[in-house]
Amino acid sequence: MKTIEIRTEVTEEVVDITLNVEAAIASSGVKEGLCVVFVPHTTAGVTINENTDPDVKTDFLMALAGAVPSALPFRHSEGNSTAHIKASLAGSSVTVIVEGGRLKLGTWQGIQFCEFDGPRTRKAWVKVY
C-alpha cells in the first residue's frame, strides 16, 4: 500500500491525483489487476470525473453547494456538517482497472481528491492488486 499526501489550499477544492496514483501503480510492479484509492477522512472524498476542463471542478463544487446549503439548521457542533455530507456524496473510494501497468481510465477521466473542510494536509491510500 502507498500513501499519497495532498495539501489543500482552500476550504473546498478538487485536486487531480491521477499522476500520483499512477506512480503508486508503477512502484507496485503490478501490470494487470485493480487499483483501489481510499480516502480515510470524513470531510473529504474521491471521485472520477473529467480531468481536462477546469470548469468541471468548479461546477462540481457549485452543484454540491446548491444541493447541501450551509443555511440548514445542522446540529453537528463542529460547524462542518456540509463537509460531512458532501464527502458522503463524493464517496470515500474508487476502484480502477490496471492494464499494462497503467490506469484504465476513459479519455477525459482523472481521479479527483475532493476537499470539503480545508485547508488541510490529507492522505489517500492506494492499494494495487
Residue 88 and residue 72: Cα distance in Å, rounded?
A: 17
Domain membership flag for residue 17: yes
Assign 124 to helix, strand or coil: strand
Residue 88 sits at the vertex; the CA angle it makes with 84 and 93, to the nearest 5 degrees, is 125
The number of folded domains in the chain is: 1
- Distinct helix (H) and strand (E) counts, the chain: 3, 8
Domain membership flag for residue 75: no
Domain membership flag for residue 73: no
CATH number of the domain encompassing residue 51: 2.60.120.460
Q: What is the pLDDT of residue 77?
A: 86
Local mean pLDDT, 10-residue blocks, the chain (129 residues): 98 98 97 98 98 96 96 90 97 98 97 98 98
Residue 125 and residue 96: Cα distance in Å, rounded?
A: 14
Domain membership flag for residue 74: no
Q: What is the pLDDT of residue 22?
A: 98
Q: What is the pLDDT of residue 79?
A: 87
Domain membership of residue 63 as a residue range: 2-68+80-128
Closest to 78 measured CA to CA, from 40, 116, 47, 113 = 116
Q: What is the pLDDT of residue 119?
A: 98
Residue 57 and residue 53: Cα distance in Å, rounded?
A: 8
Domain membership flag for residue 60: yes
| C-alpha 56 chain-centroid distance | 14
